[in-house]
Structure 1
Amino acid sequence: MTLWGHDRQLFGRERELAEVTSRLLDPGLRGVLILGAEGIGKSSLAEQAADRLASIMAPYYVCGSPVLSTMQYGILSTYLGSATAAEMESPLSVLRTVRAHFQRLTETSGMQSLLVVDNAQYIDEASAHLLTQLAMSGELRLMVISRARAPRIHELLSLARDGLLARIDLGPLSRQAVHEFCVSVLGGPLLQASSTLLSRMSGGNPLYVKELLGRAQRQRRLVEANGAWFLTQEPDCVDTSLVDLVKGMLAARTPAERNVLETVALAGRLPRAVVSAVADDEAVRSLVIDGLLEILPDRDESAHLVQPLHAEIIRSLVPVARSAEIRARVLARYTPVSGPEPDHETGAVLRRTEWALDCGERLGAEELLSAARMANGAGDPVRGQRFAAAVHALPFRTAAEVERAVACAQQGSYSWARARLEDLAEGIREGSGTGWDQDSLHRASFTGALLLRQTSGRSTELPLVADRWLAAAAEVASRQSAGGSVPAQVRAATEVLRVAALVMEGDFSRARTQLAELVKEESPARSHADGERLLVAHGLYAEVLAACGEVGAALKHALSAANLLNSADGKLQSYSGFVFVRQAQSLLHSGRYAQLDQLLARMHAGPQHLLISLGGTLGVFEAALEIHRGRLHEGLRRLRPAVEALRDRDPELLLPYALGLAGYASTVVADGTPAAGFAAQVEGSRYRGPVHLWLTAQAYAAAAEASQSTEGPTSGHLAVLAAQAREAGLRSTEKDILELCLAVGDLAQAGRLAELTADFEGGEAEALHAYAVAVASGNPDRMVAAAEDAIRAQKYLVAVESIGHAIRFYGNHGNLRRQRALIQQLRRRREELAGVTVSYLSPSLHLVRLTRREHEIVELLLSGATSKDIAAHFTLSQRTVEGHVYRIYVKLGISRRADLESAYRALEPGHRSSSLL
């Protein structure tokens, strides 16, 4: 296992590599000690360091093993071939023999020797002592590679403490490094959420990452479509070579330590006091020191395994009888606190319930139903379905069947879930439905609405769903008590569903009026159902307000929905995608890009299973963020796997929007990938999604078509779409479409964009307003000033376009000096502008190219030559040389020699300026 792709690129270890090489070259040190867990990349790092120093040091490799560890000087036997049996009895003679060997090697190679000792955790004590003596002598450099907790390297560790060896501890790879590594292995773009999941499952260990990649491919859980990769399910690692590694790790621990590892793996998380009581506190301390167990700084000092894969594999290795025995010991010492569980403990509660079922225990129906609701609420439908199916007591069967339907809906089994809910409602009408409670009625109605939306049902059907469940609630209430009325929370829930129908059909005017009434309730939610209803209402209101351009108010309601989500003890996690999309849209339209970056980071750090269900959703907004900034290449790289993931699972109906976005970006950058055809797929989408995003999707598809036109701007369709958005009051949508109009060359829309953004909230709108006003005015100075505003707002493409308009203005008016000065400004500021350029600048940019003779003259000028010197060098007249110099200055946009070097170094003759970088 190495950390490199096919081109031997190092991922995520650049800092450590630089440190290793610099330490080996430090004359005050004798070498380095590289420590880290198995598979973390120690050997790869050492190999790369040795390669980098190959012209200075000659590397020689030895490698420890369990067999060699039992032999005196076993790891150094290669260098002791000339030693006699008597000499092998004397440590001093052995040292002299090894030193003499390396002295000969140094004389032969003419370079200092570098002894690389891999797997030093298996070194024998005699070899460790000899290596210590070699290091202290300074006759060669040592690079020792070992696991962090290895008793036999204590002498070498003491050299590190004394400052003779540099100690470098390798930690896990960063999430981004894991992503780059996966892309290299797969040979194509990978969904960011999928690499995040692999990073978290592997603990950032590259060996484990590679095993998971291979296992997921074999299981067809990591799939490729149109050259892009994404995970459809979490990979199962219980029959990989990692199992043998874990077995070996367990075999190396004491029985008490194995007991601790098994107990914590089976429980998921336990208070330290409980683990110490049922196992052994000394073993707990030992495992913590060795980095296998971690004690969290929470109220109970909870213990859990550091490496997630270890827990999963250990659970698979423990026999059922042994598991039941351990569970009995835990329960004898530990009774979990009843009542609401903090969000971070929800997983532990679900694991304990799962553990009980694994052991064959029959749990109470109420406990199972509660666990099923908790699992479904946490967005974990696999467990939710299992727990609900285990409910057999008749009074709880109806509620359990509702939870099964909820779980199936979350997993995408829409037909079964819809049919089951309809059967349950029909049972109420026929008088056979029993066991209903308010929570089940509420969950059934909301799940029915979700199913309608996911199966692309008409908005007119949603009020019918509300009516059906309202009638069912009335029937249940009348049976439970004479003259009983429908519970208030069920009635309130159906009101939310009716408003959701207005949002689905695009009637935002009526929807916002009714939503304003529904969100007036400021008191804390009194029940789970209240919280769910209010969360949906605030989320819908945020969606409507953001689409209508009131992004400040939209953000407030999106935040209210997020607060309800976070305060629900993990029971509303299934709404994570719903809330995220509303927050992301508000942040995107208001130009709060840094906050959107932070929101995406929080989503990647959230519940692990949501990275599968929401992977494509997150990918779309990661890409949209980059494309709004003008980084079309980066946006497209993220969009390609996101589109394919959405074809598989699209809970927020974003596929048409993603197709349009990808088609436009691919067309503009001319990348030649299958994404170039995505724009044409927008009209054929089997569903349209939200109205405002459907208009935007069509606009991106139209912009892609306009960008391909060879007959000048063909943006008439864009203008029509902008008018439709304006008529519907969708100001944010209109803003996006008008920006596209200008991007494809329809500058006649600049006036309307300036008018629209004049009172629009947010930094993005402010930058677009300055840009549109400048373009409409035809004033190049205002265009350059607008570019500065755009840079501050991170609208890099708009900044380049604005300068580009100024460049064209000066070219059209014959002011070539000013034109070329701006071209050079663009070149010099490429890094600040995120490397963005635009295609229509290329006719002007080619004017700045110097001839070969002009390049030669510049090089002479920079070396200090005078015009007279240059004339003599080329056998030219001095006047001719001065004419060359004048033309060079004009091309570079400068007027004095002092500016020559900076302007010339900014010029890149080989750079293709007709691309979007």
Structure 2
Amino acid sequence: MGQGREIIGREREVSRCAAMLREEVPAVLVLGETGVGKSALVASVREELAGFAETFEIHGSPSLQRVPYGVLAPFLGGLPTEHAGSRISVLRAFWRRVEELRSASDSRLVLVIDDAHSIDPLTAEVIAELVGAGWAQALVTSPDGTLLPPPLMQLWIDGGAERIDLQPFSQDEAELFLEAVLGSRVLPSSARRLWRESQGNPMLLRCLIEEALNTGVLIERKGTWLLASEPERRGDGLVGLVRDQLQRLSAEERDALMLVAVAQPAALGLIEGSFGAEVVRGLVAKRLILPPDGPDGALRLRHGVYGEAIFQLIPLSRSLRLQQLAADHRARQVATADGLLCAVSWALGCGLALEETTFLRAARLAARLGENSLALR
């Protein structure tokens, strides 16, 4: 397999971002769903700025989000314990450490804050103050601007930040990505199917490629790659990717996302009633589920293939609880086509009982839609 990277198709955004920082824009916000290529773009921008600016990375972490100055700990080794709660002391200690680490050159300083939505508010204040004072520039990534800590969001509101929104690949961009990764032409129908399954998300697209190669589903014939069949179940790559996403969520968000996967299209009232409106808003902002749709506010996973992986990850004890929550909803769910297939797929995976007529309806529908593996099950 070729050495394609997620940055394929992002050359324009890399150039634009680097140009903004060269032009002394105080901060650049790079926004987009998980896997859309934010980290790859940032890595390329750092390469573009080599020799012009010095960059220092700060990584947001859900586990440190409630710890004051938690992500700054590597820079605060010499700070006395009694001063650890003082913003001024932290600011001075952080800046002193950065100056020690910098090379002797007079190049600019760019703070790279990856997953900025997962840094604590006090750290965000320190960064915003440094940027506002002109001591440093910032390159910030987050799934959505609404998730940023208020001090960083204020930079945007005050006009001190520019914004780049990374969108999923179009079908043409996805085909170019596939050809770059695989090293040769891809059958258009196979490229279209992979694009549709990944919805243009570069990380998910790469994961599907690797999974299809590992299972022998994606094969090369006379210099052209094609999908020979459908995967029987999702492999370790996709399951691992989804597991990583789940670990970044709170317990309530994980349960809510799993329930959406089980019940989709899940009624907004079902999810909000079980976990609260704030949890739903958070999952939408993190771009894991689509905004409520239709008169009943139906909720769906942003990426359908995530649901297949989630089914493999739900522990038995939790699946029983989700089954109880979804029981009343399931009777209404099977009245819709996509709801019918989702409900039956879930039931088959968990060994839940459904009426034979429901299975027959689902098999006929799956066959009509070309979902042959599900129809045979």
TM-score range, shorter chain: 0.7 to 0.9
Paired position in structure 2 for 1:499: none
Paired position in structure 2 for 1:43: 39
Paired position in structure 2 for 1:23: 20
The answer as to whether partners of 2:232 and 2:373 remain within 8 angstroms in 1 is no
Distance apart, 1:193 and its partner CA: 2.5
The Cα offsets for residues 764-822 of structure 1, whole Å up to 9 and x where unpaired, read as xxxxxxxxxxxxxxxxxxxxxxxxxxxxxxxxxxxxxxxxxxxxxxxxxxxxxxxxxxx
Distance apart, 1:315 and its partner CA: 1.5
By percentage of residues, which structure has more helix?
1
Paired position in structure 1 for 2:11: 14
The Cα offsets for residues 72-104 of structure 1, whole Å up to 9 and x where unpaired, read as 545445555665666656432443344456667
Distance apart, 1:7 and its partner CA: 7.7
Paired position in structure 2 for 1:222: 218
Distance apart, 1:70 and its partner CA: 6.9
Q: TM-score, normalised to structure 2's length? A: 0.82
The residue type equivalent to 2:185 in the other structure is P
The Cα offsets for residues 271-303 of structure 1, whole Å up to 9 and x where unpaired, read as 334444566555334423332222454344321
Sort the Cα spacing of 1:371 and 1:230 in 2 relative to 1 into closer, same or farther, 3 A. Answer: same
The answer as to whether partners of 1:12 and 1:174 remain within 8 angstroms in 2 is no
Paired position in structure 1 for 2:151: 155
- Equivalences for 1:682-761 in 2 at 5 Å? none
Sort the Cα spacing of 1:93 and 1:204 in 2 relative to 1 into closer, same or farther, 3 A. Answer: same
Structure 2 CA distance for aligned equivalents of residues 17 and 311 of structure 1? 32
Paired position in structure 2 for 1:352: 343
Paired position in structure 2 for 1:313: 309
Distance apart, 1:33 and its partner CA: 2.1
Paired position in structure 1 for 2:123: 127
The residue type equivalent to 2:189 in the other structure is A
Structure 1 CA distance for aligned equivalents of residues 3 and 326 of structure 2? 49
Unaligned runs of 5+ in 1: 387-917
Sort the Cα spacing of 1:350 and 1:77 in 2 relative to 1 into closer, same or farther, 3 A. Answer: closer
Q: TM-score, normalised to structure 1's length? A: 0.37
**Helix, strand or coil at the partner of 1:139:** coil
The residue type equivalent to 2:374 in the other structure is R
How many residues in Structure 1 have an aligned counterpart in Structure 2? 375
Distance apart, 1:136 and its partner CA: 0.6
Unaligned runs of 5+ in 2: none
Distance apart, 1:265 and its partner CA: 0.9
Structure 2 CA distance for aligned equivalents of residues 89 and 295 of structure 1? 39
RMSD: 3.5
The answer as to whether partners of 2:79 and 2:93 remain within 8 angstroms in 1 is yes
The residue type equivalent to 2:18 in the other structure is T
Distance apart, 1:313 and its partner CA: 1.3
Considering Cα pairs closer than 8 Å and 6+ residues apart, tell me whether 1 or 2 has the greater RCO.
2
- Equivalences for 1:640-651 in 2 at 5 Å? none
Structure 1 CA distance for aligned equivalents of residues 147 and 339 of structure 2? 35
The answer as to whether partners of 1:278 and 1:333 remain within 8 angstroms in 2 is no
Paired position in structure 1 for 2:228: 232
Distance apart, 1:129 and its partner CA: 1.9
Is 1:141 the counterpart of 2:133? The answer is no
**Helix, strand or coil at the partner of 2:110:** strand
**Helix, strand or coil at the partner of 1:305:** coil
**Helix, strand or coil at the partner of 2:312:** helix
The Cα offsets for residues 429-450 of structure 1, whole Å up to 9 and x where unpaired, read as xxxxxxxxxxxxxxxxxxxxxx
Structure 2 CA distance for aligned equivalents of residues 123 and 232 of structure 1? 45
Sort the Cα spacing of 1:77 and 1:109 in 2 relative to 1 into closer, same or farther, 3 A. Answer: farther
Structure 2 CA distance for aligned equivalents of residues 275 and 306 of structure 1? 16
Which residue among 345, 353, 360 is the counterpart of 1:361?
353
The Cα offsets for residues 812-863 of structure 1, whole Å up to 9 and x where unpaired, read as xxxxxxxxxxxxxxxxxxxxxxxxxxxxxxxxxxxxxxxxxxxxxxxxxxxx
Sort the Cα spacing of 1:150 and 1:228 in 2 relative to 1 into closer, same or farther, 3 A. Answer: same
Sort the Cα spacing of 1:334 and 1:8 in 2 relative to 1 into closer, same or farther, 3 A. Answer: closer
The residue type equivalent to 1:161 in the other structure is I
Distance apart, 1:158 and its partner CA: 1.4
Which residue among 108, 111, 117 is the counterpart of 1:112?
108
Sort the Cα spacing of 1:317 and 1:131 in 2 relative to 1 into closer, same or farther, 3 A. Answer: same
**Helix, strand or coil at the partner of 2:35:** coil
The answer as to whether partners of 2:292 and 2:298 remain within 8 angstroms in 1 is yes
By percentage of residues, which structure has more strand?
2
Is 1:204 the counterpart of 2:200? The answer is yes
The answer as to whether partners of 2:171 and 2:192 remain within 8 angstroms in 1 is yes
Paired position in structure 2 for 1:92: 88
Structure 2 CA distance for aligned equivalents of residues 282 and 112 of structure 1? 40
The answer as to whether partners of 2:144 and 2:285 remain within 8 angstroms in 1 is no
**Helix, strand or coil at the partner of 2:370:** coil
Paired-residue identity, %: 30
**Helix, strand or coil at the partner of 2:29:** strand
Distance apart, 1:317 and its partner CA: 2.1
**Helix, strand or coil at the partner of 2:186:** coil
The Cα offsets for residues 339-390 of structure 1, whole Å up to 9 and x where unpaired, read as xx7xxx533323334444553425245x44444333333333333334xxxx
Sort the Cα spacing of 1:305 and 1:370 in 2 relative to 1 into closer, same or farther, 3 A. Answer: closer
The answer as to whether partners of 1:272 and 1:295 remain within 8 angstroms in 2 is no
Which residue among 179, 182, 186 is the counterpart of 1:183?
179
Sort the Cα spacing of 1:174 and 1:87 in 2 relative to 1 into closer, same or farther, 3 A. Answer: same
Structure 2 CA distance for aligned equivalents of residues 93 and 372 of structure 1? 66
The answer as to whether partners of 1:120 and 1:146 remain within 8 angstroms in 2 is yes
Paired position in structure 2 for 1:384: 375
Deviating more after overlay: 306-315 vs 230-239: 230-239
- Equivalences for 1:203-602 in 2 at 5 Å? 203-235=199-231, 238-276=234-272, 280-295=276-291, 297-319=293-315, 323=319, 326-327=322-323, 329-333=325-329, 335-336=331-332, 345-358=336-349, 359-365=351-357, 367-386=358-377
Is 1:171 the counterpart of 2:162? The answer is no
**Helix, strand or coil at the partner of 2:179:** helix
Distance apart, 1:135 and its partner CA: 0.2
Distance apart, 1:45 and its partner CA: 0.8
The residue type equivalent to 1:332 in the other structure is D
The residue type equivalent to 1:180 in the other structure is L
The Cα offsets for residues 614-638 of structure 1, whole Å up to 9 and x where unpaired, read as xxxxxxxxxxxxxxxxxxxxxxxxx
Sort the Cα spacing of 1:49 and 1:236 in 2 relative to 1 into closer, same or farther, 3 A. Answer: farther
- Equivalences for 1:801-880 in 2 at 5 Å? none
